[in-house]
Structure 1
Amino acid sequence: MIIQSLEKIIEPQYKLSINSHDPKNNSIIIKETQQDAKLRKVEINGFSSEKTYGFTLDVKVKNRVIFNCFNSGEPNINKVCDGIIFTEIENKDYIFFCELKSDRPQPISYLVQYQNSQLFVDYLINILNSFYLKGSKITPNYKYLLFCTDTKQDSKARITTQPARLEGVKMRRNEDNGFEIPIYTIRRQIPKNRNTTNISFDIKKILET
């Protein structure tokens, strides 16, 4: 019911595609469009296609700006996460806020994106519960995922990259407005002579932490 409702609310050009190679273990791909980004793509595994819907707010659609949250010229509120995933896992509703960054980003570079995306999702949840999910309202668990790289400067660093590693969860706070959230950092080490990389990650590792 949630997935069908989101299909009605979110326009198709914002939807993230699902790789349905296994009905119970699908993956969603989130791509970084910035040309100078080292982390270009993240594939998150472990979803059920029938119970998952992902979308991005970071899409430039000509003449489709509805309000300033999607206006690239408006400071702060124009910043959004690279991907947002609604899903149900083991009978629990989750929303994953996914951000892709390069080389040990500072919290100031991503906290506004999480906050603005959460505000938009809070609005979506209210819409769903008010008009679409009568009798079956949802109170999803929010999870904040930060995918990033770690470039090894040592000249002896191996040419091959290491698998992505979950570094655990840590509270991060925006001192300007008090916004504070627990962020799961998934990092991949790459040698200094490599410009770009991808990450593949199983979402169940987050739920086990």
Structure 2
Amino acid sequence: MAPALAGLRRDHPGVRIDLRMTDPEDPLLEVEQGRADLALVIAPRTRPREDVELVHLLDDAYDAVLPAGHRLASRETIALVELADEQWVGSEPPGPCLEPVLEACAAAGFSPDFVVQSEDYPTAQGFVAAGLGIGLMPRMGLGPGPGSGTPAVAGGRHPGVVVRPVRDPRPVRSVYAAVRKVSLGRPPVRALLEALRQGAAPRRSASA
């Protein structure tokens, strides 16, 4: 979002940008009621109204985050069921970002044992690094790996953790832009949507 907004401000300096967090229980509400032109949402639970268009931006896979020296740290990939008996560090509040984790674990035949809860990825990684448990965190929340050439997100990766892909199944959250159809005729909104698409493209390739 940040690079897309910076580009919009550069190309449309007269446009006022009002960025805010919205109700995670109903992220489409601001757009449907006309209080926002565009919203980023995770896997909407309900179909939007006919005057709102959903644009798929990317699928963001979850990876296992392990303490350095963990028994599975040397694996290239980890079967999700291998984490069934671990203690877990939670990094998501209840809602659409936690649901892919719970659903994937259920499909693998277990329910994760959360012993520590954080709603902040850097803090959660710190708990993992301290050996309090393992976690599943989305790649966008973890930032790039060493030498990836991708700009880092806030917080980045903790030096005391090891990140490995999981399989059977691999949890994924889907990210969409919800846009008022009437707003698609406005050049700044179209420019922001295109910038979001371009920003998502490298991450789509990395998650493939």
TM-score range, shorter chain: under 0.3
Larger relative contact order (CA 8 Å, sep ≥ 6): 2
Which structure is higher in strand share? 1
Higher helix proportion (structure 1 or 2): 2
- Tell me the TM-score normalised to structure 1 length: 0.24
